Each structure stands twice: as structure tokens, then as C-alpha cells.
Structure 1
Amino acid sequence: MTTDTSPPAFQAVNTIDLVSIKDSKIVSVSVYSGRAEITRLFKFNVKTGQNQLNIVGLPRVLDKESFRVEGRGAATIHDVTVSTVTPPPIPTTSPALESLLAKKKQDEKALARVHKSLKSLETYLASVKAEHLDVSKLQEVVRQYDTTAGELDDKVTDLEKQLKDTDDTIAEERKKLAGATGDEKLNLKATIGVFADFEGEIKIALIYAVYSATWSAGYDIRVDMQTQEKPISLIYKASITQSTGEDWDDVPLTLETATPTFGIGVPVLTPWTLSVYRPVPAPVRSRRRKSVGMARSMMAMTAMAPGSAPPAPQPFLESEVSDIQYRGLQVSSKGNVSATFGVPGLISIPSDGDGHNVTIVKLALDADMSWAKIKNASEYTFLAGSASVYVDGSFISKSDVPLVSPDESFDCPLGLDPSIRVTYHPRSKKTSQSGFYNKSTVHTNTQRITVHNTKSAGTPDTLKIKVIDQVPVSEDSTINVKLVQPALVLPNADGSGTVSSVAGLVEKAKPVKVSSGVVAAWDGADEVSLSGGHEDEDVDALGREGRLCWICSVAPQGKVGFVLQWEVSAPSGTNIAGL
């Protein structure tokens, strides 16, 4: 009986080589602001035991930390490595190129011989003298010259065409050689160890984030001034750009409003110190140049100090046929943090760096047409972006849309309306003296304002107009500013700002009737709830910056006038800056 003590035979590793673009399909793309997440699906056969999967042609802009692998089948993923592939040197020649160069050389020599023959023929003809030639043979000489020269000219034409075709073929061959190393944007390689329980087909998905991909929001806002109900038509668009090196051909695509952040930590507060101010004596003249030089050196050292943050770097004809509808995206709301827009069907976005537009949704929205405050009464989150504004079908202006959550309102300027004329008449200024012992100078300023609605009398709608103006605010206790007209008072002029006095503040902040169809209020009062709840503590800030407004209704061909009057008083002889 013999015992075999030799070790078991080494089991060879089965190597599988794949090219990312050729051997897989993108099954999902999620585009964020500044990056995208790609999911690629591979199908391949494995052998029982250890397999090494090599996938080349992954994009250079791939975020290696985001790379992960998911699989389906009776196998186990052992290890995953992502590395950069160093391209081989570009070949400078090939058998085909050498053959083409040899043919070109032969054609060039043949062309040179033909040109030499033509030159010899011309020389011979020039040497023939009429007195030495029989007149009966002159016709034969000319005929033979013409025939021979024509044959040589044809050879020149054929050879020149052959040389041109050969040059074009040489250029194509050299282009092939230069591109033999592949796209330099696709120079990453993934090596994945897979242990298979059985021989057969398995599926592996590579999920990775890439930079050089983004999307931005854009809007078309169309206003129908003749419609009372939902006068705003808002087309929400997305411009998708990517230059990752991979073309996204017929892929399911989603747009994400979330902005992933990385490396964010709790900020460190810099010391906040208080000290007694002591004037620094002026340096003597002989030391001035040295002091300035030291200060500049300290400034340079501060700018170059290790650990300091780098500066921030400084995208029809009308008919009875129904209109083509805009494709609406499927929206998946994720609370107030983010939202996901799913593009229906498949879409192709090439890696060309150009913006490719897709419509997210077309919405009909309500708006306060007095000053175009639009309410986002939809489930879509509006990202910040530019908007083209159309009023009654005519392009009016470009505007900006801020970040707007569902059920939130935003202001949208609709451009200038030339039919509304606001006239500021010359301001009246009067100066008077008051007081017996402590004399004061009072400066009274009166400004008349007229609003004229020049729309035709046949227009049915009365316009609601808001005019905003301001009076100066004193920054010195010796200077007093008093608003005379309109008769508004500061809500918290007496300094009572407690919660128990909120109801009183609200009462003071309410609009004041100036005349028929005209009320005045502190600017911002229409944006503050005046119901008297605890939220109304913002009422205290109304009027602190001197801004006020008039809200008036003006019928077509109608005029409305109002007066702004204020007084500035100060001790006599006071030089008031800014008056």
C-alpha cells in the first residue's frame, strides 16, 4: 500500500477580459448638480472556482471611493480593485502603412519619368529646323508629337490621382495607429475576483459616480393677462450636460435635486476678543519705510499660512389638431430635502459637453398679478435657474427663479409696462425755525406723485399698482425725522416689543386709507401676517428703514395722486449730511 503525499494540483484562475462600453449596458443614470451616478450591467460566463474579471475602458472621471459591485448568481465577490491603465506607446508603423509608403514612392518615380519624357519630347521638337525637314514629313512629325504628348499627359493625370488616393489612405492608416490605444478619457480598469459555485452565466452591476456631468434648471414663464384663473403657464426644463467619455445611449435617467456634499465638519470659530482702544503713536520718519515693509511681509505670511482655506474658484401654425403636449416627468418627493424627477422612457445624452434639454413638466399656476407673486401649487421643487418671461405671447424679459419648495410663493418681475406712467413732480422744500430758547431748524419736504393708467378705455380690468418710496432715517439722536403724509406710525415707536403687546403693534401696522382706492402702509406689511399671533413679532421691524408704499387701483385712462411729506428737525446750525 502506497500513500500519495504530494500536494493537490494548483487550480488555474479563469481570466475574463471585458471592455466596459462594448460588453455592458447602462441600466440607470441619476444626474445630480456636478456629478452623476451610473449603473452598468455585465453578463458573462464563469467557471467553477476562482475567476478574475478584468474590465477596461471605465471613465477617468470616476470617483473611486464611490465604486461598488453588486451581483446576481451562485458566486461570491472576493476583492475589487480600480486602477489606472497606462496606455501603450503609440505605434508609428504597420505592414499596411509600409506597403502604402512603398506604393507612393513607386508612383512618385513613375511620375518623375513621365515628366522627364515630356521634357525630352519638347526638347526634340524645339531642335527640329524647318530648312532641314522635308515639307512632306512635317505633318507626320506634328501628328506623332501630338499623340505621344497626349499619352504622357494621361499618364500624369492617372499618376497624380493615384498619389492623392494613396496619401488619403496613408492619412487614414496613421489615424488608426494614433487611435489604437483607445480614448484617453476611458483609462480606468476594474479587477474583480469572483468565486463561482457552478459554471454558467452570472450578472454583475458596477455602480459608480462620475464628475463632468451636471444638470441645471430653466423656465419659460408665460402670462395670459386676459385670464383670471391660473394666468401663469410655467414650463419647467432641465439642461443636461456631460463629458465623461461615455455616451449615455437609450438610458433610463433621473434628475436629482439633492446636492451631495463631502468633507463637511463642524466649523471652528476664530477667537473674538475685546480690548481697550489705545492710539498707536505715528512712527518716526526714519523708520517708516521699514515698518511698511514689515507689515507687507506679515500680510504675505498670513495669505500663505499653512492650512488656510484656498480662495473660492472664480452652466406652429394654428389648426384644429390638438397641440403637442409636453412630456411630464415622474416626481418622487423626498420631503423638504430633495426630489427626484424620472424621465419617462429612454433618453440619449452623448459625451459632448453640450446642454441637452428635456421638459420636466408644464404647470398652470395661480398668481397675484398685481406684482406677479406666483405660488408653486405643485409637488415639484423649483431649483434656482433663469427664466424667459412671455406676456400675452410676446417675449418681455429674462428673470431669475429662486429655489422654491412646493406650496411656496416667489416674486417674478414681468418687465416694464409702458402703459403705466408714474410721475414724480418737483419736490417742494421749506425751511423754518422753531423754539424760543433752544432754536431748531425744520426742513419740510413735500413730494407729489401721480399714477396714470394709459390703457384704452375698452380694457375691462382695473390695475392694482404698488408704489414704493422712502423717507430718510436718522442715525443721530439730535436729528429727528417725522413722517407727516401718509399718517403712518412706527409700530414699536415707544419701544414696547414684548409678546403681550404684539396685538398693539399689529393694530399700528395696519394700512391707512389715503383716498378713494388708495391705501398706504409700511413696505413689507403685505408679507407679514397681521392676525395677532406669536408669529407677528416681525411687525416690530416695519418702517425701521424708512420704506413705505401706496397700493392703489387705477381704472383704464384713470389717474391717482398722493403726497409724501416728511420733516427733518435739528438744532440750528447743524450740518446734516445726506439731506
Structure 2
Amino acid sequence: MRFLMSVSLVSLIAGGAMAEQFSLDSNVSAVTVYGQGATITRAMHFDVPAGQHTLVISDIPYEFHVQTLQFKGGEGLVINATQLISQRPTLDGQQLERREELENMVSSFEAQIRIKQEESAAAGLIINAASARIKLLDSIGGQQAQSAAGALEAQTISAETLMALVTLVGTETLSALQDAQTARTEIAALNRDMQDLQKDLQKAREDLARLVEPSDWSNGVSLQVSAESAASGVLQISYVVGQASWHPVYRFMLNTETETMTVKRSVTIAQYTTEDWDDAAITVSTATPYSGGSFYMPNSNIARYEALPPPVGLLRMSDASGMAFAAPEALMIVESSHMGAAEVNFQGITATYALPAGTIVTGDRAETTVALSENSFEVELSARAGRGSDAYVMAEWENTSNEPFLPGLATFFRDGAFVSDDDVSMVAAGATTALGFGKIDGLQVKRTTLRREDGSSGVLTTSNDRVVEYELSVENVSNRAWNVIIYDRVPVSEQEELIVDWSARPRPTETDVEGRRGVLAWEFALESGASKVIKLSYELQWPEGNELRVQR
């Protein structure tokens, strides 16, 4: 949410005499950056005599969250009232002339573009007319050719007359084609001119916008203060802005020989407050200031029943006896599916990271990446394959550090080679998770269907029976042994009348993996040069007169 400052009075100026007015220069001394937004602290030195005074701070950027304005420090001062004033630079005579010039340029470019558009439309009409002429000449030429052939055979037309007719049709067709080509060339030139004019128009509009609404607008803060005695020191003012953000960046580097993983943690920051943070203590925080302060109580969930509507599937299909019957009910089978992950939220956990001194973040949206830490972890390697033909290196590890790895963008390297980049989820301190590090070329996974009988395709099967049998094979042609985990699935029924029976040789190591119904896993060691075969089959039975549907 953006909060555009205008001339607004936060509090009424307290009464009392003003001895002097002091202008204070401030600089950004500290910044706490959130996932969206930042708290900025500005520091300024003051030195005032005893009495009542006005302190004016005039270098605060134009946009900030007004209600978050706070003051700190200022020992010996009592702040009686504050006044916030939007400061808009005025244009001098030369700038006013430039604005008028730019406005005229914008009008001129817009007019020229309209003229070019009209000329392009006129050229398009010429192309359409030429196409119509060519179509008509083709039609006339065909008709005349048939008539001329008969007339020539009957000797009612001379060869010279026929040649003159052919020449006329050819000449007119060529003329129409030339007109169309000329118009196309003209349109191409007009389009190039319009592109140049559009660029000039865009630049003139941008220059005018910068002149009419300067980017260096600022806010002034006027403080009515009193001091019992002469006072000097540092006064701090802080406020929240929305024009900043940060996100974590990771580099996961796996060594398959030592079975260790190095994690390099960085943060990327960007801000567009129009001023650089070049001499400030910068901290990034996981706090979420724009996420709302409370929850929403759910409303009542009222259930009721009503009379059933007429069956949708009732079809007026008649046999020889004229009897009508209902269409067969579709019987549904649900195969296991992975539900979409919810967006990660942080509640009750706020982590902060202080960036190294001297970190500079410019105010022009440019991203700045800062290295934070480097950790090493022992991993357990495995080769895992799903229903495809590829196996992937998976590294399971425990976060033995004392801080979590927050959700962010990560790049993955295996034995020094780049593998991929992807988003990673949060890994809490002490949690165990697995990360993927690319395909293994030396593991070959095949899935071969041995039998599929559906309906009347089998001798022993009936119309309400389906039998599927297939074979999984894994061959290790790499130069090392692997701990292999193969995943597959069998159908899952949610209807009592739909019976699912399955068998596997060997039996799976785990069923309903991670709570996913019907998902199976086989885990085994596979030496270099060895292979493994798994046979899996399932049978579906459902009431006759129904159709089987499978949700993938």
C-alpha cells in the first residue's frame, strides 16, 4: 500500500513563544528491511539554547507510512507538537518554457502518428482493391478462355483477337499486383516512421513527467520543542516505507565423494526510496509489517437438505419393446494426487540478520546481494526415481545449525558442476529434508507393461474387470554403488463397490508414502553393474452397468 504525503497536520502546534528556528540536516543511520517494506531511521545533530524553538527537517523522501513516524533521543528536549509538510519544488522561468516546449512536442508527435495511421489505412484500401481486381480478372479470364476456345474452334473469332484478350487480362493483372506491392512498401515505410515517432513521443512524455512531477519531492517535518537549558545531541526519527524488499539466496554445493554439502547463504536487497543507503547499519528481518495484525473468525457453516432434482442421466432410449432405461452411472476411481502447497507464513518467529558494515544499497531498484554465512553438513545420498525413466541424486541432511533456512531462491551444484536453480522451502533448525541434485546418467529405469486386459480383451475377464501388470527394472551402469528408492503407485478406491486388489514382488518397503494413498516405495542397494526387477500388478472390479473413470 502506498501512502502519498500531502499537506497534513498531525497535531496542532502548541502555544508559546518561539525563540528561534533551526534547520537540521539528517542522514539515514539505520535500516531494517522486511520481505516487503523497511523501517528507516534518520539521525540529525541539534544544538539549541534554552527556550521554545522550531526544528525543521526537510530532507525526508516523499512517500512513507505517516502513522509510523516516531522520534527518539534528543536528550534535554521536549517535543510539544509536530507538523508534516509536503514540499514540492517550484518551476523557474526556464523550466516553464521547457514544459511548454515538451507539451507542444507531445501534441506534434501525436498528430504525426495519426496522419501516418490514416495514410497506412489508405494504403490498405489499395491492397484490398487490387486483390478484388485480381480475383475478378481471374474469374473473367477463366470464363473468356472457355468461350474463346469454342469460338476459335468454330472460327467465329480470330487468333489475333484471342491474343489481344489474353494480353489485356495479363496487363490488368500485372497492374493490380504492382499497385498492391507499391502499397505494401508504403505501409512498411509508414510503420517504420510510426515506430520512430512512438519512441520520440515516449521520451517527450517521460521528460514532461519528470518536469511536471519531479522525483525529488520531499517531506518537511516541523517540531515544536522546548528546552529548560541549552541542549545538544542527536535526534532520531524513524518511519516505515513500502519501497524496499529482500529475499534469501542460497548456493547448495554437493560433494558426492565426501558425501558433504556446503551451503552459502546470501540476501538480495532492493529499494527505490530515491536515496542511497551508503552509510547506514542495515539489518534484514523476517517480520511481516504489511500482513495484518489479527485473524478472521470463520462464519457459521449452515448445512441443509432439499428434494433431489430429476436424474440428469435419464435418457429416453428405447429398445424394440419401447421401454426406457437410465444411462449407466459412472463409477469413479481416484488415484493419489499431490495437493498444492500452501504459501509459507511465519508466525511467532522473527529472525534478523545484520549485514556487514559498509554495505551500500542504491535507491534505484538495483539489487544488491550480500554474503551472510557458509555452513557444511553431512548428507545421505540416494538415487530416486518416479514413474519416469530417470533417476535423480537426492541428498538428505539435517539442519544442525542454530538458525533456519528461510524460503528463497537456490542454485544447485554437484561436484562443482551447475545442476539447476529452484525455489526452496523453509528448513527449520534441527529439521531433516532432502534436496535434488540432478539426473544420474548411469542408472537406467524401465517400465514395461506385461499385461492389460480390459472388458472383453481377456478370456477370463468380464466387462466390469480390469487387470494391469507391469515390470520395473533398474540397471546400474555407473562406476559406484547407489542406495536406490523407486516410487510407483496403484489405484485407490473411494467407493465401496469398487474393489482394488494389488500385489508386488518384492513387496514395497513403504506404502502410502508421505500420506499419499496408493504411492509405493522400494528401497534397496544396487552395486555397480547390478540390476533389480520389480513386478507390480493390480485388478479393478466394479458393478456391471457402470463405467470406470480414472482421475490422473
Query: Common fold, TM-score beyond 0.5?
Result: yes
Q: Which runs of 5+ in 1 are unaligned?
A: 1-9, 98-177, 282-333, 487-512, 528-541
Quote the residue 1:51 is aligned against.
Answer: 53
The structure-2 alpha-carbon separation of the partners of 1:265 and 1:253, relative to structure 1 and needing over 3 Å to count, comes to closer
TM-score normalised according to structure 1 size: 0.60
Give the Å deviation of 1:362. 1.0
* Match of residue 137 from structure 2: none
Contact 2:75 2:231 (C-alpha < 8 Å) held by counterparts: no
Alignment match, 1:204: 235
Closer, same or farther: CA 406–335 of 1 in aligned 2, 3 Å: farther
Q: Which amino acid aligns with 1:49?
A: G
Shift in alpha-carbon separation, 1:202–1:570, aligned structure 2, 3 A: closer
Post-superposition CA distance 1:420-451 (Å, at most 9, x none)? 110011331244659xxxx9965332111100
Question: Residues 395-414 of structure 1: CA distance to partner in whole angstroms, max 9, x if unpaired?
Answer: 11122211222112233221
How far off is 1:557 after superposition? 1.8
Q: Which amino acid aligns with 2:219?
A: L
SS across alignment from 1:250: coil
Q: Indicate whether 1:404 and 2:427 are aligned.
A: yes
- Asked if the contact 2:474/2:531 (under 8 Å) is kept, the reply is yes
SS at match of 2:437: coil
CA distance in 1, matches of 2:308, 2:464: 37
Aligned equivalent of 1:37 = 39
**Corresponding residue for residue 252 of structure 2:** 221
Tell me, yes or no, if structure 1 residue 559 matches structure 2 residue 548: no
Partner of residue 72 from structure 2, selected from 49, 70, 73: 70
Partner of 1:241: 270
Map of 2:172 onto structure 1: none
Note if contact 1:336-1:405 (Cα within 8 Å) is conserved in structure 2.
no
Tell me the equivalent position of 2:437.
414
Residue equivalent to 2:187: none
Aligned positions, number? 375
| Matches of 2:210 and 2:548, distance apart in 1 | 76
Partners of 1:412 and 1:447 in 2: how far apart?
29
SS of the aligned residue for 2:548 comes to coil
Contact 1:484 1:567 in 2 (8 A): no
Where does residue 20 of structure 2 map in the other structure?
A: 14
Return the offset for 1:578.
3.2
Give the 5 Å matches for 1:18-417: 18=24, 23-85=25-87, 87-93=88-94, 184-228=215-259, 231-261=260-290, 263-278=292-307, 337-370=349-382, 371-417=394-440
The aligned residue for residue 483 of structure 1 is: 502
Q: What does 1:529-568 correspond to in 2, within 5 Å?
A: 545-568=517-540
| Inter-CA distance 280–73: structure 2 relative to 1 (3 Å threshold) | same
8 Å Cα contact 1:57/1:186 also seen in 2? no
Write the letter of the residue equivalent to 1:80. T
Distance 1:335 1:266 in 2: 12
In 1, the alpha carbon distance for the partners of 2:33 and 2:520 equals 45
Deviation at 1:54, TM superposition (A): 0.9
Q: CA deviation at 1:379?
A: 1.9
The CA deviation string for residues 4-35 of structure 1, in whole angstroms up to 9 with x for no partner, is xxxxxx954310123xxxx2332211111111
Contact 2:26–2:59 under 8 Å retained in 1 = no
User: Cα distance, 1:482 vs. partner?
Assistant: 0.9
| Distance verdict in 2 for CA 1:477–1:16, change over 3 Å | same
Distance 1:484 1:180 in 2: 77
By how many angstroms is 1:227 displaced?
0.7
The answer as to whether partners of 1:399 and 1:413 remain within 8 angstroms in 2 is no
Q: Secondary structure at the match of 1:207?
A: strand
Say which SS state the counterpart of residue 415 (structure 1) adopts.
strand
1:570 aligns to 2:551 (yes or no): no
Correspondences of 1:414-453 after superposition (within 5 Å): 414-430=437-453, 431=458, 433=460, 442-453=465-476
Q: Distance in 1 between matches of 2:221 and 2:487?
A: 64
* 2:20 partner amino acid: N
| Cα distance in 1 between the residues matched to 2:49 and 2:213 | 29
Aligned-partner Cα distance in 2 for 1:75–1:194: 6
TM-score (structure 2 length as normaliser): 0.62
- Between structure 1 and structure 2, the one with the greater Rg is 1
Kept in 1, the 8 Å contact 2:18–2:54? The answer is no
Q: Which amino acid aligns with 1:243?
A: Y
- State the alpha-carbon separation in 1 of the partners of residues 512 and 216 from structure 2: 56
| Alignment RMSD | 3.1
Paired residue type of 1:521: E
Higher relative contact order (CA 8 A, sep 6+): 2
Report the CA distance between 1:200 and its aligned residue. 4.4
Deviations 1:517-565 (A, max 9, x none): xx522142xx6xxxxxxxxxxxxxx57x211111121111211111112
Q: CA deviation at 1:93?
A: 3.8
* 1:207-264 deviation per Cα after TM superposition (whole angstroms, max 9, x unaligned): 1111101101111111111113xx1111111100010122111221111122224544
Corresponding residue for residue 520 of structure 1: 509
User: Match of 1:364, SS?
Assistant: strand
| Gaps in structure 2 of 5+ consecutive residues | 1-15, 99-208, 311-345, 383-393
Please report how far the alpha carbon of residue 573 of structure 1 lies from its aligned counterpart in structure 2 after TM superposition.
Answer: 5.7
| Partner Cα separation in structure 2 for residue 344 and residue 88 of structure 1 | 36
Please give the alpha-carbon distance, in whole angstroms, between the structure 2 residues aligned to 1:335 and 1:210.
22
Alpha-carbon displacement from aligned partner over 1:121-179 (angstroms, at most 9, x marks no partner): xxxxxxxxxxxxxxxxxxxxxxxxxxxxxxxxxxxxxxxxxxxxxxxxxxxxxxxxx99
